[in-house]
Amino acid sequence: MTHAYLATQPPQALPPTTNTVTLWHRLFGDAITAIATVATLALLAVALGKTINWGVLHAVWPDGDAAACRAASGACWAFLSEKLRQILFGIYPPGEQWRPALTSVILLVLGAASLPPVCWGKRLVLAWFVGIVTVLLLMRGGVLGLAGVPTAAWGGLPVTLLLAVFALGAGFPLGILLALGRRAEMPVPRMLSIGVIEIIRGLPLVSLLFVASILLPLMLPDGMSIDGLLRAGAALTVFSAAYLAEVVRGGLQSLPRGQGEASRALGLSWWMMTRLVVLPQALRSVLAPLTNTAIVMIKNTSLVLIVGLFDLLSSGRAALADPAWPTPYVETYCFIAAIYFAICFSLSRYSMWLEARYSQHRSH
Amino acid sequence: MLSKIWFDRRLRGWCLQALLIAMVVGGLGWLAWNAQANLARRGITSGFGFLEQAARFPISESLLAYDTSDSFGHAFLVGITNTLFVSVLVILFSTVLGLGLALARRSKHPLVSGSATVYLEVIRNTPLVVQLLFWYAMLTVALPSARQALSPLPGVFLSVRGLYFPKLVLSGEVLWFWVAVAVSLLMVIAAVMLRPMLKLRHGMRFPLVRSALAAAVVLVGVAAWVGGVGASLDVPALRGLNYTGGSTYTPEFTALLIGLVFYSTAFSGEIIRSGIDAVPGGQWEAGSSLGIRRWHLLRLIVFPQALRIILPPMTSQYLSIIKNSTLALAVGYPDLSFVVATTINQTGQAIEGILILMGVFLTISLTVSVLMNFYNRRLALVQR
Amino acid sequence: MTIDTKPAAPDTLAVRIAGMHKWYGQYHALRDINLSVRAGERVVICGPSGSGKSTMIRCINRLEEHQQGSIEVNGTPLTDDLRHIDEIRSEVGMVFQHFNLFPHLTVLENCILAPMWVKKQSRQVATETAMRYLERVRIPEQAGKYPGQLSGGQQQRVAIARSLCMNPKVMLFDEPTSALDPEMVKEVLDTMASLADDGMTMLCVTHEMGFARRVADRVVFMDQGSIVEINTPDAFFSAPQHERSRAFLAQLLQ
């Protein structure tokens, strides 16, 4: 009796069985799930109810005024519409506020244009260079018939964007230098890089801002002074550089040794090898952590509040100091938070998209 | 000759390094020389002698006793303890809540994981300062005055003036009591940490943790009885415009605590979640094919392995919390950065003050890193 | 005991290694290496693993440093002098066991990178050279693809073309077929054989004894860091003279 088998006909194809789990089942499938659903819905209902009550039903809309806000128990949105310019542009002369507005638009557009990988290249660098020079001239004035406005009068959204662009734009190359230095064979650059990176990462940003705003003027010769905004920007740059350096170092470490060997065997110098072979691959492998670090640094610009610089948050607080209005803190902070959220959330979604795209790009 | 040096690989390396050292030393030297000249010009003496002078500025709350006649040195100490107090509390709360958030994010229930995700995205994409100021506003503007304080629990009063709650007052030989408490705490912690290794390596079946707990209770009880320690509750009572008695958490402290806990929980939660996710799926499969149910699987099989992955990023998260506590400046809680800023304002000793600030934080960073690295290595040994 | 069957005239020496020693810390990796390779000669180096074969050829283009003795390539001595090192690297091409192609560049870009940046050739000239060599290794149609899209055998052939684009006078092969699936080994060996037919000086570390028999002028057998025997392939495979060579061959032909 043989137990052999030979297939003589192809097996019959059956229609697929539907085995989808319905939403109802996921919400109320068993006792614990049902309780969790009911509890969460109840909590959400209470929270949403209170928020809508405060934010919509009893709120004072932009057509109201200070007295109406004081009388009402809801949100004071009228304050925001009244003070919008002060929050967004600080104490910049009201007649010239089209300039900071244009600055913000230019920086945001350049930022958005830098995201899609197809745009990366020499033209983008040139565009940024031109954009930054334009923006600085625009804000500063004093040329082409524009009234001069000192940096002490700059404030609000353009300052936040400028600080973020500065910290990331200057911090990234510096970070790459530090990362390369940390992996050098020569002891001096290696020790220096390790020292700089570890010390800055061990310190709070507040202390670095103190150093920049209090110590730096002390350490310059009499008569030489650096602009306050530039000092804060320098502190943010150095801070970003140290954190970006660690991310880049991870990328450098993940590169197979054979790449360096092949480059050297072909006769490429260290600089050519780093620029053409090592860095493109290393940076590409850490795009997601780089973007996440960039998001953190953008949020960090809000700390310049502590050293008295007028960025978006600080301008908002200055606007709140107006005694005529009944201190609508929550509305203002929510508005400022919403602006940051819009920028940071889009960047984090972009970073997830970039990571998905590149992982599928590599495994052809 | 010069070209020979330039092209010789080793000599070129040494020359470049020497140049680098010269630049760094030269730059730092120039800065130091300018600083010394500027300070002399302003008549400010360098050195840490000012630490012995009287501080003459108030500190609104502290764990240690302080008044304005105390020295600057003591003021710095108060600042450091305040910083550490808030940091440790935030670390504890955010770790526990972070675990809850991680489990919520991994939950299959759409509402639970959805709410957790919304929370996470909102917290992660807004700056910490804005969140702290938001909470401070909620606690100072949105709460009622002392006379109409909220009372969620008997004896606990929440108002614009702060959170007042009953204080436990101990009488009698308190010192030995606290020593006993400290010793039993250490004993229990040691038992919890040593148990996995002893159980695995030496097949110990002795219920170490339970006996440690029992011994702790006995020790504390004996110390209390021998020292004649009595406890009484000091309940806050409304007198005039505000409460007196009991313990209080000021709005500044509470805002800092709540804001930092909400912020840090989001990040801790993500770290714990990715640690659990990083454990290979095969572990879950092996465990469930052995018949182990989900909660035990998590606790006995997955979590110990996840712990090794979680520890390094968690270490930097803890350090981040300690550094973020300097944002107390934004809400007015008197931590170390506040004391330093006020001192610099009063004495002009900028370099010394900032050096103290940086020195303290670097020491804390280094210590925490070393301790966590040590535990990390112990954990790896235990597992293998 | 080494047997150098044809004494070489100094002016046609492609590679000359004399009294070379190398240490890794305390470990004596290469002991008293003496080898002269004439221009156009094909040398196969074989031996058990850990015998120092790869280390020796990696010393020739300074991927490893030797501590004692001398190495000369086409008359240029190999020292710490960067000019000498650059000159030697431009005359010596290397093919690695794991190909080491640049994954972020296309096949064509891999081949024109070094000529453009080191030899300062224009993109057009470099592309012409590259396409010529890609045709030589019989994969011109893959020029626009990325390395990740090619099979192992194709990648190794691209690596050979990449080295050839620098017009080297000596080619070093470090176990070029060891990381390939068996069905792809033949295509790479055929490519190397056709290179040999064109008169390229080759030093090849390999376990492929059939290739050695077919192509090599001499076989160098190394064991434990020193050269044990040098002979023609026929003589080496049919009548090995040293007992260690005999033991190695016995294992190999098992």
Of the residues A33, A186, A188, the best mutation for testing chain B's interface (the one with the most B CB atoms within 10 Å of its CB) is: A188
pLDDT, position A363: 42
DSSP letters for A296-321? HHHHHGGGGGGGT---HHHHHHHHHT
pLDDT, position C84: 87
- Which chains reach chain A with 3 or more Cβ–Cβ distances below 8 angstroms? B, C
- Which chains reach chain C with 3 or more Cβ–Cβ distances below 8 angstroms? A, B
What value does the mean pLDDT of chain B take?
Answer: 84
* Mean pLDDT of all residues in B119-145: 89
* Mean pLDDT of all residues in A225-240: 92
pLDDT digits (tens, 9 = 90+) for C54-110: 999 999 988 888 999 999 999 899 988 888 888 888 889 999 999 888 888 899 999
* Mean pLDDT of all residues in A218-227: 84
**Residue C126 binned pLDDT confidence (cut-offs 50, 70, 90):** very high
Other CB atoms within a 10 A radius of the CB of residue B33 amount to: 12
* A119 contact B CB<8A: no
* Mean pLDDT of all residues in B326-345: 91
When mean pLDDT is compared over A30-34, A342-346, B367-371, C250-254, the highest value belongs to A342-346
Identify which of A26, A313, A348 has the shortest CB distance to residue B130: A313
Q: Residue B382 pLDDT > 60, yes or no?
A: no
* A3 contact C CB<8A: no
**Rg of chain B over CA atoms, in angstroms?**
27
**Residue A149 binned pLDDT confidence (cut-offs 50, 70, 90):** confident
pLDDT, position A356: 83
pLDDT, position A21: 66
* A270 contact B CB<8A: no
pLDDT, position A16: 63
What value does the mean pLDDT of chain A take?
Answer: 86
Looking up tokens 């010769």 gives A221
Q: Residue B49 pLDDT > 70, yes or no?
A: yes
> A266–C89: do the CB atoms touch at under 8 Å?
yes
Of the residues A185, A257, A266, A358, the best mutation for testing chain C's interface (the one with the most C CB atoms within 10 Å of its CB) is: A266
Kindly tell me the burial class for residue C28, based on how many C-beta atoms sit within 10 Å of its own C-beta (0-12, 13-18, 19 or more): middle
* Mean pLDDT of all residues in B303-321: 86
Identify which of A268, A281, A363 has the shortest CB distance to residue C118: A268
- Alpha-carbon distance of B158 to B320, in angstroms, equals 30
- What would the 3-class secondary structure string for A29-88 be? CCHHHHHHHHHHHHHHHHHHHHHHHHHHHCCECCCCCHHHHHHCCCCEHHHHHHHHHHHH
Q: How far is A263 from chain C (nearest CA, A)?
A: 8
* C52 contact A CB<8A: no
- Alpha-carbon distance of B315 to B319, in angstroms, equals 6
Within the 179-198 window of chain A, which residues sit less than 8 Å (CB to CB) from chain B? 186-189, 192
With CA atoms as reference, report the closest residue to A233 among A161, A185, A149: A161
pLDDT, position C4: 40
| Dihedral over alpha carbons B361, B364, B365, B369 (to 10 degrees) | 180
Residues from chain C that touch B10, judged by Cβ atoms under 8 A, are 80
pLDDT, position B69: 82
pLDDT, position A72: 74
- What would the 3-class secondary structure string for B141-152 be? CCCCCHHHCECC
pLDDT, position B179: 81
Q: Residue C2 pLDDT > 60, yes or no?
A: no
Of the residues C63, C78, C81, C86, the best mutation for testing chain B's interface (the one with the most B CB atoms within 10 Å of its CB) is: C81
* Mean pLDDT of all residues in B306-324: 89
Hey, where are the domains in chain A? 23-57, 93-302
Could you tell me which residues are beta bridge partners of residue C68?
C21
Q: Residue C10 pLDDT > 60, yes or no?
A: no
**Cβ(C171)–Cβ(C163) below 8 Å:** yes
Q: What is A93-302's CATH superfamily?
A: MetI-like (1.10.3720.10)
pLDDT, position B60: 80
* B292 contact A CB<8A: no
* Mean pLDDT of all residues in C200-207: 93
* Mean pLDDT of all residues in A6-22: 66
Q: What is the ipTM, given to two decimal places?
A: 0.87
What are the start-end ranges of the E strands in A260-351?
A: none
With CA atoms as reference, report the closest residue to B47 among B363, B348, B362: B348
Q: Residue A269 pLDDT > 80, yes or no?
A: yes
> B350–A341: do the CB atoms touch at under 8 Å?
no
Q: Residue C147 pLDDT > 60, yes or no?
A: yes
DSSP B175: H
Residues from chain C that touch A256, judged by Cβ atoms under 8 A, are 98, 100
pLDDT, position A153: 85
pLDDT, position A50: 84
Q: How far is A283 from chain C (nearest CA, A)?
A: 11
* Mean pLDDT of all residues in A62-72: 77
* Mean pLDDT of all residues in B165-192: 80
When mean pLDDT is compared over A118-127, A142-151, A289-298, the highest value belongs to A289-298
> C83–B7: do the CB atoms touch at under 8 Å?
yes
Q: How far is A163 from chain B (nearest CA, A)?
A: 15
